[in-house]
Chain A
């Protein structure tokens, strides 16, 4: 049975690493559901948040193969209950339709979404949450035929664990090796 797994991958900031990570998925014909890349809280270290539907056996192997890449510092996989997760949805709505139907504003308020821009043609609404909340608002708004554009971001996540795996790993590496010569 496939489960949605989230991989958190930390790497050096070198060209071509994203390519190496995604190639591990491609080789096994596993689709990446979402992907977010950004700087991490550790200087010079990039963080990749990747979601994919897979079996545990498969995702474990994928994680090991990613971690095996020389410039990947750490890779781990998680299920949703082990993470704080956020995604962002942005909705562009037709202003006349919104004005016509007060139910639309009610749905936006109820979803705890924010209107970030209004002009006579369209208004933009933004909300953050988990996937179901963001797609839920989409389906609710879509019924009113008022949506001009909609987009949903990839997932970002931090662990619920009390252990900071990456910092601890880097610290251990520094203690165990001279670190001589490399930069």
Chain B
């Protein structure tokens, strides 16, 4: 036990060490200077404890922390100053809340005496962060630092994970207090891991045992609960075809025989059609997002719905359930599996095949293996997927690039999918990929983005340069904000309101940052350039000049039912 008094900033360092933090993404500023001063001693020499990654914009710090958390399963940490530094993180906080990502944002704040005086760089961070974070707290005394940090990490990583914001007043950073290590492992108003209800487990098992056409919907909950084996045992015992949500894509390997594709507006055709035909729908760690259900009023009306989720507020939120099993799926899945009969649904499973074949002929083959015409986004993703063989981590930006990348990438390992699903944050990809390279240092990180999203975080090339973060950037440049352009063409009479973009010379930008660069305008060199990108140690920017007016298909138009999905326009 340490009897001497140290500063609040030093207590923060010791508390972060105590939580096992290794990497911090941050940006210094006035109100967080005492913390950065303490950090100085913890990032060099014998006492080196943390690797601090200096980003170029605070929003990138939080997205990098998200990318780090998503691939590693650890809490991502982000350190910024007050006022604009703090508000710049809010998009990432909201994003992490939507996508259940465990991060802790530590922001400086003016001293307690200056609070409420409209002091320089003062903003009511807790007030604005509360509705978009799992927990927000203002640390006003050095004595509270150890407790607040431990509580923050416990809340961020337990139950349904999420973002926590700590607003660290300057006086608390400077004041001295004794450091008494704290390990919070429960909060009385908060049930992180609900007790499994055995009756619901039995009811779920009975319905699944009697199902003729069961369909499982696999979400990110399986990844967050680290329940990959439990999932495959469950699926295999009862022989249930499984579709994955966007964020659940790497919860089940692409090559698993029971995988029937991706859900959602631009997902695969078969699972979308079959959602309207199955007799039992088993949702596992997913939240029935509107991108998945499309028209709720007609969604899976014929099916009995079983919903497994750790968050009871998700039950009956969008889709009314017949049986809800509220628990960690690491616990609920094996409990249900034990009560399942070994079963076979061969005929039902095989009924997905003709639909897959239709999609393959009408969409997948023409998109991934075109013989002539301009380069296509799907073709690029498919080529990268072939070259990486299911070993790489996929990071996407938002828009058409995200849908093409998620559809055509191959997922062989868990925690391989990083994308802004709920909030749909353009500019997420590049910084999240930086974070992913720190969170999964032994893996290849492939980041797909469009010319729009790339420029929203383009300053992070500076971070990549400085740290030589080995991000394989695949810029699919179509000189358009492609997804909005597609919607304008489909639903706004082709009035392309501000969706075409004049682009800079990306080769010159790459050169300015000293980042190796390649360009593909002709498909003849696509594979060779991808191989070059993957063989280069460190970062690489591969610009692919893709078809300007490509559409992401299939698509369920807004307001339509999942089975009204269109294979072609």
Residues on A lying within 8 angstroms of B by beta carbon are: 11-12, 15-16, 19-20, 23, 27, 60-61, 64-65, 67-68, 70-74, 170, 173-174, 176-183
Q: How far is the CA of A174 from the CA of B188 in the complex (A)?
A: 7
Would you give 25 A-B contacts (Cβ < 8 Å), ordered by A?
A11-B189, A15-B138, A23-B131, A27-B131, A64-B313, A67-B313, A68-B313, A70-B187, A70-B189, A73-B189, A173-B186, A173-B189, A177-B186, A177-B188, A178-B185, A178-B186, A180-B183, A180-B184, A180-B185, A180-B186, A181-B151, A181-B184, A182-B147, A182-B187, A182-B188
Indicate whether A181 sits within 8 Å of B185 (C-beta atoms), given known contacts A16-B127, A61-B313.
yes
**Across the interface, which residues of A come within 8 angstroms of B186, CB to CB?**
173, 177-182
User: Does B223 sit within 8 A of A, measured CB to CB?
Assistant: no
CA distance A29 to B120 in the complex (A): 34
Shortest CB-to-CB span from B133 to chain A, Å, is 10
Name the distance in Å between A180's Cβ and chain B's nearest Cβ: 5
- Cα A11 to Cα B190 in complex, Å, equals 11
Q: Measured between alpha carbons, how far is A28 from B191 in the docked complex, in Å? A: 25
B311 lies within 8 A of chain A by Cβ: yes
CA distance A69 to B175 in the complex (A): 30
Query: Are the C-beta atoms of B147 and A181 separated by less than 8 Å?
Result: yes
Asked whether any CB of chain A lies closer than 8 Å to the CB of B98, the reply is: no
A63 to chain B, nearest CB (A): 9
Considering the complex, give the chain B residue whose CB is closest to the CB of A66. Answer: B313
Q: Which of B148-185 contact A (CB under 8 A)?
A: 150-151, 155, 182-185
Instruction: Tell me if B316 is interfacial: C-beta within 8 Å of chain A.
Output: yes
A8 to B136, CA, bound (A): 23
Q: Is the CB of A71 within 8 A of B189?
A: yes
B410 close to chain A: CB less than 8 A = no
Q: Which residues of B contact A (CB under 8 A)?
A: 126-127, 130-131, 134-136, 138, 147, 150-151, 155, 182-191, 195, 311-313, 316-317
Min distance, Cβ B358 to any Cβ of chain A, angstroms: 38
* Most interface-central of A23, A176, A178, A182 (chain B CB within 10 A): A182
Q: How far is the CA of A71 from the CA of B185 in the complex (A)?
A: 15
A65 touches B313 (CB 8 A): yes
Chain B nearest CB: distance from A26 CB in Å? 9
Nearest-CB residue, chain B, relative to A64: B313
CA distance A68 to B313 in the complex (A): 7
CB <8 Å contact, A177 and B127 = no
Residue of B nearest to A71 (CB): B189
A15, A19, A181 pick with most chain B CB within 10 angstroms: A181
A56 to B195 alpha-carbon distance, docked (Å): 26
Please name the residue on chain B nearest to A74 by beta carbon: B189
Query: Contacts A11-B189, A70-B190: A183 and B183 contacting too (C-beta < 8 A)?
Result: no
Contacts of A19 in B (CB 8 A): 127, 130
Considering the chains assembled together, what is the distance between the CA atoms of A20 and B147 in angstroms? 22
A61 & B317 in contact (Cβ 8 Å cutoff): yes
A170–B316 alpha-carbon span in the complex (Å): 26
Given A68-B311, A70-B155, A12:B130 Cβ within 8 A = no
B188→A73 contact, CB < 8 A: yes
A174: which B residues are within 8 A, CB to CB? Answer: 188
A27 and B186 CA atoms in complex are apart in Å by 29
Residue of B nearest to A17 (CB): B130
Q: Which residues of A contact B190 (CB under 8 A)?
A: 70
| Shortest CB distance B136–A (Å) | 8
- Expressed in whole angstroms, the Cα–Cα distance for A106 and B68 within the complex equals 74
Decide if A177 touches B185 in the complex (CB within 8 Å). yes
Nearest A residue to B195 via CB reads: A176
* A179 close to B189 (CB less than 8 A): no
Alpha-carbon distance A16/B136, docked complex (angstroms):
10
Interface centre among B136, B183, B186 (most CB of A within 10 A): B186
List of A residues within 8 angstroms of B147 by Cβ: 181-183
Give the shortest distance, in Å, between A75 (CB) and chain B (any CB): 10
Q: Which 7 A-B residue pairings sit nearest by Cβ, starting from the closest?
A: A177-B186, A181-B184, A73-B189, A64-B313, A70-B135, A23-B131, A181-B182
CA A22 – CA B130 in complex, angstroms? 12
In the complex, the answer to whether B131 meets A181 with C-beta atoms within 8 Å is no
Residues of A with C-beta under 8 A to B311:
68
Distance between A22 CB and nearest chain B CB, rounded to angstroms: 10
CB–CB A16/B126 < 8 A = yes
Which residues on the B side are within 8 Å of A183 (C-beta)? Answer: 147
In the bound complex, residues from chain A placing their C-beta under 8 Å from that of B130 are 16, 19-20, 23
Residues of A near B187 (CB, < 8 A) are 70-71, 182
B287 to chain A, nearest CB (A): 13
From the candidates A12, A23, A61, A176, name the one contacting B189 in the complex (CB within 8 A): A12
Minimum distance in angstroms from A27 CB to a CB of chain B: 7
Query: Are A64 and B189 in contact (CB-based, < 8 A)?
Result: no
CB-defined contacts of A181 to chain B, threshold 8 Å: 147, 150-151, 182-186
User: Given that A65-B313, A67-B313, A70-B190 are contacting pairs, would A182 and B127 also be in contact in the complex, using a CB cutoff of 8 Å?
Assistant: no
CA–CA, A64 and B147, complex, Å: 27
**What is the CA–CA distance of A170 and B311 in the complex, to the nearest angstrom?**
19
Q: Is the CB of B126 within 8 A of A182?
A: no
Per the bound structure, the CA–CA distance linking A132 and B189 in Å amounts to 35
Q: How long is the Cα–Cα vector from A65 to B131 in the complex, in angstroms?
A: 11
The answer to whether A60 and B316 have CB atoms under 8 Å apart is: yes
Q: A27–B135 Cα gap in the complex (Å)?
A: 18
Q: Which of B134, B184, B188 has the most CB of A within 10 A?
A: B188
Q: How far is the CB of B163 from chain A (nearest CB, A)?
A: 12
A176, closest chain B residue (CB): B195
- A15–B126 Cα gap in the complex (Å)? 10
- Distance in Å from the Cβ of A89 to the closest Cβ of chain B? 34
Cα–Cα distance between A176 and B150 once the two chains are bound (Å): 20
A183–chain B nearest beta-carbon distance, Å: 7
Alpha-carbon gap, A174 to B312, bound state (A): 21
B126: nearest chain-A partner, CB-CB: A16
State how many angstroms separate the Cβ of A163 from the closest Cβ of chain B: 18
Residues of chain B contacted by A173 (CB below 8 angstroms):
186, 188-189, 191
Is the Cβ of B189 less than 8 Å from the Cβ of A72?
yes
Rounded to whole angstroms, the CA-CA distance of A73 and B195 in the bound complex is 17
Chain B residues in 8 Å Cβ range of A12? 189
